[in-house]
Amino acid sequence: MNYNYSVIVPFRDRYELLLKAIDSIPDREDIQIIIVDNAPQPLPQSQIPVKGKATVVFTTSSPTKGAGHARNIGLTLAEGQYMVFLDSDDYFTPNAFESFDKYLDRGYDIVYFDASSIKLSDNSLSMRHNTIHNRITGFLATGDEDPLRYDFVNPYCKMVKSSLVLDNGIQFGETRVANDSLFSVRIGHQAQKITASSDVVYVITEGGVGTSLTKTKSAENEFIRFSVIISRYKFLKAIGKQQQCPRIYTRVVRAFLNYGMKESLRWLKYAHKQGVKLLIIY
């Protein structure tokens, strides 16, 4: 089967949201849906979502390795011309795939799209999409590709040519948080032809049952995010694009304010060990 799209969906619990996410994908023969369940107790066969025309592939991944590992398994199963990523607690807008179809045969390696966001508690507007919206509007106003290529670090709101990912051996990190950052930077760097659209194709949700790791604040999670930013900085410096990396020194200051001197010293020692001189960067 030749698919135009492989939709990769990492999943862990929150079954009612998964159903909504899968329901937002059109039931078309050119779509392959890959659900990778990384929960300790995977869904029973009777609960796996089904479609009439679209192909649904259900598999599992290690419950201890997180969403990055689940997405990497999805990469190995993708047969579509383009990969599209969907978090299982989010969903596509009704016209999302019509927007994707506009770019299907135009030779782009990556097409970036706009998003919206809501609070699940009352369906009111959230602000979680603001950074994506600003990246899209900035590109459309100036034509500057660098913020898209190197600072649009979410895997969703993109259609990514599968050959770009697979031929370059690009994978997601397998850290507990921030596992998508380097993946997004690397595909952005390798892409030959990119563009962006103001079409809103994706709805990011906030709240509901449980707490998303992207919003969970803890000393350990923030240290993992910091270590990923250090890796991202080193990669960007190697290609002469370090100005696209978030300011590292301010993260250490924030660690001091939130977690104290001992934790901030841990961050400084880690950066030094990685050969990153924070005072010079600052």
pLDDT at 218: 87
Same domain, yes or no, for 181 and 225? no
The total number of structural domains that make up the chain? 2
With a CB cutoff of 8 Å and minimum separation 6, the contacts of 173 are 68, 179, 180, 181, 182, 183, 228
With a CB cutoff of 8 Å and minimum separation 6, the contacts of 69 are 38, 61, 62, 172, 174
Q: Shortest CA distance to 194 belongs to which of 157, 262, 148? A: 148
Cα–Cα distance for residue pair 91/19, rounded to 1 Å: 10
Residue 98 lies in domain: 3-209
The whole-model pTM stands at: 0.93
The answer to whether position 47 is within a domain reads yes
Reported as a single tens digit per residue, the pLDDT across 32-59 is 999 999 999 999 999 999 999 999 999 9
Q: Record the tokens describing residue 262, joined without a space.
A: 């001992």
Same domain, yes or no, for 232 and 194? no
Q: Record the tokens describing residue 72, joined without a space.
A: 């990497």
Reported as a single tens digit per residue, the pLDDT across 15-38 is 999 999 999 999 999 999 999 999
Cα–Cα distance for residue pair 206/32, rounded to 1 Å: 27
Cα–Cα distance for residue pair 73/75, rounded to 1 Å: 5
Report helix, strand and coil shares of the chain as percent, to nearest 5: 45, 20, 35
How many residues in total does the chain contain?
282
Reported as a single tens digit per residue, the pLDDT across 149-201 is 999 999 999 999 999 999 999 999 998 889 999 999 999 999 999 999 999 99
Same domain, yes or no, for 188 and 277? no
Q: Record the tokens describing residue 31, joined without a space.
A: 């779509």
pLDDT at 279: 55
Cα–Cα distance for residue pair 36/207, rounded to 1 Å: 22
The answer to whether position 214 is within a domain reads no
Residue where a domain terminates, one of 209, 239, 272: 209
Same domain, yes or no, for 88 and 198? yes
Q: Shortest CA distance to 170 belongs to which of 179, 229, 178? A: 179
Residue keyed to tokens 């619990």: 13
Same domain, yes or no, for 176 and 231? no
pLDDT at 216: 53
Reported as a single tens digit per residue, the pLDDT across 220-257 is 999 999 999 999 999 999 999 988 887 888 888 889 89
Same domain, yes or no, for 194 and 269? no
Whether the predicted pLDDT of 117 surpasses 50: yes
Least confident of 90-104, 199-213, 262-276: 199-213
**What's the CATH number where 175 sits?**
3.90.550.10
The answer to whether position 275 is within a domain reads yes
Q: Shortest CA distance to 155 belongs to which of 71, 73, 232? A: 71
Write the DSSP symbol of residue 145: -
- Name the pLDDT band for 280 (thresholds 50, 70, 90): very low
Q: Record the tokens describing residue 45, joined without a space.
A: 């066969």
With a CB cutoff of 8 Å and minimum separation 6, the contacts of 163 are none
- Tell which wins on pLDDT, 231 or 13: 231
**pLDDT above 70: percentage of residues in the chain:** 95
Cα–Cα distance for residue pair 98/58, rounded to 1 Å: 25
